[in-house]
Structure 1
């Protein structure tokens, strides 16, 4: 049966052919810069980034006291937020040349959480990328918990269908302790009970991602790969 005949048959039965879905592959990375406070450190970042293939790089530990938004002649756009009064934190994002046209907005929501919004253009869907820099294990439980509560709030308030969270989570999550902990591998550093909030947060996201998209599941693995203290 030809295509036209098939479509006529479907139409006569009140059915329509679903459009073939297109898949878009994106490379979203995370980089703990340690500092991007000087021009030299920013120049070094750009030089190194041009050696790899990426779409978006989430940046943590900018340690800047003044924000920066730079659009380069080569097409990339760089957004850097500020640190807190103690000189800690600061997040940002670097967007590649071919994706720069998709930028809707970048906001530093706090000194530890940033949000990059990408608008639909071509095969790229509307997408929100959250960049997070969690407190280290040296911080009190209250500060660690407050960070995840805040991240959860921003995540829930964002109405974009496609959402990705990447960053430096400073968590030693240990190895898998039960079959349900699919977000944790079978090998890892020791478990730290005070970072239980990190595991709970990922488990919540994993429950939603299971019925979501492959790009989000991929980025979940990416965020976990960066969740080890150095």
Structure 2
């Protein structure tokens, strides 16, 4: 009986602060050359539109609706490209990668990359945050049973409390 070989899959999330230009993408490639990775979810790509680009050893997916701001996407090593069932941007703040990972039982996974709006007390900002979490909830509901939710949730802490001073 032939034994199946399962791979270690390295999945990460990264806030790029911009991958708008080829130079920024080259900087990221250089930074990634010393680490193990197979899939990276990216926040704050700042690329407009939605697309998939082939870069030889990886593919880049991006989704952005506001020129120069926000945006999410994925970098996926080329060896996993044939395992991708779907890769799409739900919004400029949520992207989903449906993929069959080469792990035990080769199950389908949904990897969700999120980039939450920063918390605020302004009514417009509160509506954006509520919409983000509604979209995230729907994305999770429509995903495979195996789910990874990752990203930048823009958590903030309150004012420093100097007890005892």
TM-score for both structures, normalised by structure 1: 0.59
Q: Shift in Å at residue 23 of structure 1?
A: 7.5
Higher relative contact order (CA 8 A, sep 6+): 2
Q: Shift in Å at residue 126 of structure 1?
A: 1.0
Q: Does 2:123 align with 1:142?
A: no
Higher strand share: 2
> 2:95 is matched with which residue?
114
Q: Shift in Å at residue 120 of structure 1?
A: 5.2
Size of the aligned set, in residue pairs, is 151
Gaps of 5+ in 2: 160-165
Match of 1:165 among 149, 157, 164: 149
> 1:190 is matched with which residue?
158
Between the aligned partners of 1:69 and 1:190, the Cα distance in structure 2 is 39
> 1:51 is matched with which residue?
34
Q: Shift in Å at residue 149 of structure 1?
A: 1.4
Q: Shift in Å at residue 24 of structure 1?
A: 6.0
> What is the 5 A alignment of 1:213-224?
none
Higher helix share: 1
TM-score for both structures, normalised by structure 2: 0.79
Q: Shift in Å at residue 25 of structure 1?
A: 4.1
Residues 68 and 145 from structure 1, CA distance in 2 versus in 1: closer, same or farther, beyond 3 angstroms? same
> 2:61 is matched with which residue?
79
Between the aligned partners of 2:55 and 2:149, the Cα distance in structure 1 is 25
Residues 93 and 119 from structure 1, CA distance in 2 versus in 1: closer, same or farther, beyond 3 angstroms? same
Q: Shift in Å at residue 115 of structure 1?
A: 0.6
Between the aligned partners of 2:33 and 2:80, the Cα distance in structure 1 is 14
Gaps of 5+ in 1: 1-21, 173-188, 192-230
Match of 2:82 among 101, 108, 116: 101
Q: Shift in Å at residue 145 of structure 1?
A: 1.8
Larger radius of gyration: 1
Between the aligned partners of 1:44 and 1:68, the Cα distance in structure 2 is 20
8 A contact 2:72–2:113 mirrored in 1: yes
| CA RMSD between the two structures | 2.3
8 A contact 1:31–1:59 mirrored in 2: yes
